[in-house]
Structure 1
């Protein structure tokens, strides 16, 4: 059960003479302030003559017609009132409590029943009056709805005697007819069209006067309290829907009809009859006792009674309630599915001393046709009357003005303005309501809501905007207003915008808004230098945030201080820093931010540094990476940088190739061997130590080969790699015959390797030699097939060699013939001036040198060292090809 969340308005909760209630009312007002649910009803006490009437008497019952109200008292008086509470007339017909009142449908007669055993029917517009004596207390009365339109006056009544009596006027006078008896006192009776519903100790029964038969019985809910605590309640919502409230249970019963057709013996249709029956269409279990119930459109208005005894659950039939333990009664609005639409508490006079049966809820007749969306049209709204011994409270649906007032009180200013605008009010009223809203919010320190309303309330007034900007600044709440400040139509003074940005910078919780504002506001509406100065001061404080740094960087960009902006972006690890460097050509300033750039995006940073290595040298990059903090993987950064650099320029990082060997071995061993093969700038002994430590065998083989330790390299290939093909290839490249002997000796006890060796030695070793070295008894897999292949390959090789020799001999002969033919064509060369004893070749005209020792050496393409060709005493030099005399 949800406790009360709201107190009614318009004076219901106040009685200046009851000081003991002030504390409770303060608590209720606090609950109102915390509630965000708008009430459906508004309340006021009935004034007029009611307070004076109840000061000397106590109300016990009420009935409402379209014209007036009847109020019964415990003194036996029936007061006829208008809707303002002014007394029209009174009937002193009873000497005891008036238990029930009933108007006819036309509101011309009022009937009353009392504990004095009397039923009295009075005409409201004539002196006609009828009195019926039953000698037992009568608790319920219902007049025939058409009582005033028929000559016979009928009514149904019941009481403690347990008889449900139908009294009707005949030509012989009034006669009683007992419709039901024997199941305890009659507690309530209601008459609608031809249907009569009544409640006794067993439950509720419905009787159809048209068919003169009972059509339904709804059993009393189990576990409900005694009748002395709570009475059953019956309300006809319309001609076919009956609402039953009993204890904590509500049932909605729909009267339906079904048609049956009787068939005679000839199988022909006979009489057609219509039978009425009851169908329970809704059942609701509440957490409180029900003191009254009434329809509200498609919902129900329930008067709830809550006592200290009931706070832990509904009292059983054996429980009793102590006087003075009750809480204020509550008005709940429920749907048929038990969905609560609203809840209001009523601080009526003397509530703590009342029981559930001391309250009565009545409503004015209405059809509810204009109800829509929680609001009623003027002139077609229901009225509810809550009666207790000393109070009568009127409840009615709230109108548009009440709706706006409630929105204003609860801070829903946007909705209040929307409601005013929807009502097509004047602009002056809009301005007035808006001003009140804004002032109220500021007084209540609801600065965010006030700021959000400023665009609607201040509209295009420059002076109003600037006034509120500086007012918010004085309140130190300007950051709340900044998102709503206009930058055009109207445009404010530059001072207003600067004050706003500085206010955002001074509050760390608004640094995100500062960044957003700087990005969205046009820079020409404020002085950028003034804002930069303020933000730089704030950056030096302990409250500086990354968002504030980014905002300062944006200001630097606006002011074209790109170098300062880049420094901030790099320190903040901004992903857009690479594009920023390229767009503003800041590579010179990036050379000190190597580590930050690599931590941000390694791939982009490496590519940029390699491309611009003329600006940021390799040694500078390596130095910064080696000194970077522990939080980054500097070795991996070094590896990626040196690897990418080596792919672009193998000599650019040659001073760090020793370092690069270790990095390859740690991060990408598969790339180490190609690097070792390509580079000549690393120390072999250090590289070998790294490869041994990392157990990189092929790399060890390569380094050992380069170091000249071919035997150890061959041992690694055979004993660790066990790769005979690589061993053969390695020996072949070394051009060392002794290595073949080492290879054969190390493989002679390994059958598989001997077999593989036999397959790969054609052209390098004599296979027969290998076969001879194989120990006796060693089983070589597929030896026969391999020997056949050796013989076949040997024959093929022999044939190829023979063919090559034949081709070579033929080529030699052909070339000699060609040279011979060319040499026979002698060319005479006369002596050249200044070149005495100069001899030239007859083919290429190169000068031939002559020596005194008698040996001529020819320095040309045909030069040979030959003995002197002499004829007699005089030396004659001739060309060795054409034998032409040289002098």
Structure 2
């Protein structure tokens, strides 16, 4: 049957039925390596190795590596797309990868290929098979092929891509930022943040996207806090909505530099917060009243800082506008003496809703006085209760028995061999009178607590 099969194969090759001949090879030749190689050479003579490529053994038994290399060479010269498919499909142990790489490089030098990108992609895969990942990544980036991200993750190439970070972000922003944000088992970045910041310092947009992502992920950690100064500048340029929340929750950015950035961009709410933080509350209040014209925010600002001079400044700003006076009359009574405002209102000024505002002001002030009186009563009551408890505790007796020791000499206080008076202080430390300095019998040497007026002396 083998002889008949081989004659049938010869007949098919003679009739140029190469596809069918390749299929028959698999059925006729089985696992006979020698016969396989003889038939492969017949296909090679007529340049039809491509027809038999899919039927070549690839499992637990395989042919010599030069057989598979012959097939790859033919694909490279005649059908680059098929060459790429085979490189992706065939495991690299079927052939000598370095030999194929050299053949590809030589072919690229000698011929002007129309399908150069296809061959370069295959070459990148071959470099990866040969563990030359830097060359493979460089080719992927040159081709703008997004398979580079899969390769980085698959082969753990995070240490190799430090010089390629900006190119990777050009290729795919979301994938790059996700890759740059990956953590190892210890929770540290697989690519250190200082490396990323250094590589992106000349590309502020990419740096903003990276740091913003890190900040959202690490709001409760200190990993990115060292870059808050940079992030303030980037938020001011690319995302103002995130600027004020960052200024409020962080304390690791240079305040003066942040203030200058806000002044340059005329960001008033941010300037108000920073001025208040550095103690320049008067300028902050002036900005609120002159630029923001928000009397409610001004009251809140004065309430937060609780400064009488600041309230005076607010009143000065409000006196020029009757509607502001109305608003203050209705709300100032809970925080300061409202007479300060009333006495400074000019005679004859028309104030809308004055009657209602005065009534509300008096109610608020009376409520404040009432609350203060109630608190005073509670405090006085608590004071006397605690004082009585303290006196009671200090009037109790202190037990001194045969097991008690002197806090100075560590010997028993009561001993037939030692005749000395025993002095016990209110702190419950006991001493032999002979152990205490004669100049300091009124204070415990350990805690310096004054002795009780009725300190016990025991013979």
What is the rounded CA distance, in whole Å, between the counterparts of 2:354 and 2:333 in structure 1?
15
CA contact (8 A) 1:625 1:638 kept: yes
Aligned with 1:487 (options 41, 49, 55): 55
Aligned with 1:532 (options 79, 98, 101): 101
What is the rounded CA distance, in whole Å, between the counterparts of 1:573 and 1:886 in structure 2?
95
Please name the residue that 1:722 is paired with: 293
Aligned with 1:767 (options 309, 317, 338): 338
Aligned with 1:619 (options 180, 186, 194): 194
> Displacement, 1:742?
0.9
Please name the residue that 2:254 is paired with: 683
**Deviation string for 1:190-228 (max 9, x for gaps)?**
xxxxxxxxxxxxxxxxxxxxxxxxxxxxxxxxxxxxxxx
Q: Aligned to 2:24, what secondary structure does the other structure show?
A: coil
Please name the residue that 2:359 is paired with: 788
Please name the residue that 2:167 is paired with: 596
Map residues 137-216 of structure 1 onto 2, 5 A cutoff.
none
> Displacement, 1:520?
2.9
Q: Aligned to 1:762, what secondary structure does the other structure show?
A: helix
Aligned with 1:845 (options 429, 436, 439): 429
What is the rounded CA distance, in whole Å, between the counterparts of 2:445 and 2:214 in structure 1?
50
What is the rounded CA distance, in whole Å, between the counterparts of 2:331 and 2:237 in structure 1?
35
Please name the residue that 2:372 is paired with: 801
Q: Aligned to 1:588, what secondary structure does the other structure show?
A: coil
Map residues 49-68 of structure 1 onto 2, 5 A cutoff.
none
Please name the residue that 2:316 is paired with: 745
> Displacement, 1:569?
3.8
What is the rounded CA distance, in whole Å, between the counterparts of 1:433 and 1:860 in structure 2?
111
Cα separation, partners in 2 of 1:730 and 1:785, compared to 1, 3 Å: same
What is the rounded CA distance, in whole Å, between the counterparts of 1:766 and 1:498 in structure 2?
96
Map residues 20-99 of structure 1 onto 2, 5 A cutoff.
none
What is the rounded CA distance, in whole Å, between the counterparts of 1:459 and 1:689 in structure 2?
77
> Displacement, 1:431?
9.0
**Deviation string for 1:750-773 (max 9, x for gaps)?**
223222222332332112221222
Aligned with 1:577 (options 148, 161, 172): 148
**Deviation string for 1:631-668 (max 9, x for gaps)?**
xxx21211122223334166434554332211001111
CA contact (8 A) 2:422 2:430 kept: no
What is the rounded CA distance, in whole Å, between the counterparts of 2:350 and 2:437 in structure 1?
71
Aligned with 2:204 (options 624, 635, 639): 635
**Deviation string for 1:423-466 (max 9, x for gaps)?**
xxxxx999989846x4xxxxxxxxxxxxxx52136653565653
CA contact (8 A) 2:50 2:74 kept: no
Structure 1: tracts of 5 or more residues without a match? 1-427, 439-452, 473-477, 628-633, 865-877
> Displacement, 1:708?
2.4
What is the rounded CA distance, in whole Å, between the counterparts of 2:368 and 2:201 in structure 1?
59
CA contact (8 A) 1:494 1:525 kept: yes
Please name the residue that 2:381 is paired with: 810
Q: Aligned to 2:299, what secondary structure does the other structure show?
A: helix
What is the rounded CA distance, in whole Å, between the counterparts of 1:429 and 1:879 in structure 2?
122
**Deviation string for 1:821-872 (max 9, x for gaps)?**
22221215477263899965334539999987789556888946xxxxxxxx
Cα separation, partners in 2 of 1:674 and 1:576, compared to 1, 3 Å: same
**Deviation string for 1:266-323 (max 9, x for gaps)?**
xxxxxxxxxxxxxxxxxxxxxxxxxxxxxxxxxxxxxxxxxxxxxxxxxxxxxxxxxx
Q: Aligned to 2:332, what secondary structure does the other structure show?
A: coil
CA contact (8 A) 1:595 1:624 kept: yes
What is the rounded CA distance, in whole Å, between the counterparts of 2:423 and 2:117 in structure 1?
91
Please name the residue that 1:5 is paired with: none
What is the rounded CA distance, in whole Å, between the counterparts of 2:52 and 2:392 in structure 1?
106
What is the rounded CA distance, in whole Å, between the counterparts of 1:860 and 1:429 in structure 2?
112
What is the rounded CA distance, in whole Å, between the counterparts of 1:851 and 1:787 in structure 2?
69
CA contact (8 A) 1:846 1:860 kept: no
What is the rounded CA distance, in whole Å, between the counterparts of 1:822 and 1:431 in structure 2?
116
Aligned with 1:455 (options 7, 19, 38): 19
CA contact (8 A) 2:429 2:444 kept: no
CA contact (8 A) 1:466 1:492 kept: no
Aligned with 2:45 (options 462, 470, 474): 470
Structure 2: tracts of 5 or more residues without a match? 1-6, 26-35, 411-419
Please name the residue that 2:232 is paired with: 661
Please name the residue that 2:328 is paired with: 757
> Displacement, 1:615?
5.4
What is the rounded CA distance, in whole Å, between the counterparts of 2:139 and 2:423 in structure 1?
83
Relative to the length of structure 2, the TM-score reads 0.76
CA contact (8 A) 1:664 1:671 kept: yes
> Displacement, 1:714?
0.7
What is the rounded CA distance, in whole Å, between the counterparts of 2:272 and 2:93 in structure 1?
71
What is the rounded CA distance, in whole Å, between the counterparts of 1:851 and 1:794 in structure 2?
60
Please name the residue that 1:673 is paired with: 244
CA contact (8 A) 1:505 1:511 kept: yes
Cα separation, partners in 2 of 1:834 and 1:579, compared to 1, 3 Å: same
What is the rounded CA distance, in whole Å, between the counterparts of 1:862 and 1:792 in structure 2?
52
CA contact (8 A) 1:518 1:554 kept: yes
**Deviation string for 1:463-510 (max 9, x for gaps)?**
5653343333xxxxx7xx636644338988643432332344357xx4
Map residues 267-286 of structure 1 onto 2, 5 A cutoff.
none
Q: Aligned to 2:349, what secondary structure does the other structure show?
A: coil
What is the rounded CA distance, in whole Å, between the counterparts of 1:799 and 1:846 in structure 2?
50
Aligned with 2:119 (options 548, 556, 559): 548
Cα separation, partners in 2 of 1:751 and 1:708, compared to 1, 3 Å: same
**Structure having the higher Rg:** 1
CA contact (8 A) 1:458 1:464 kept: no
> Displacement, 1:712?
1.0
CA contact (8 A) 1:487 1:525 kept: no
**Deviation string for 1:229-287 (max 9, x for gaps)?**
xxxxxxxxxxxxxxxxxxxxxxxxxxxxxxxxxxxxxxxxxxxxxxxxxxxxxxxxxxx
Cα separation, partners in 2 of 1:840 and 1:527, compared to 1, 3 Å: same
Q: Aligned to 1:624, what secondary structure does the other structure show?
A: helix
What is the rounded CA distance, in whole Å, between the counterparts of 2:228 and 2:251 in structure 1?
9
Aligned pair 1:879/2:447, yes or no? no
Cα separation, partners in 2 of 1:672 and 1:522, compared to 1, 3 Å: closer
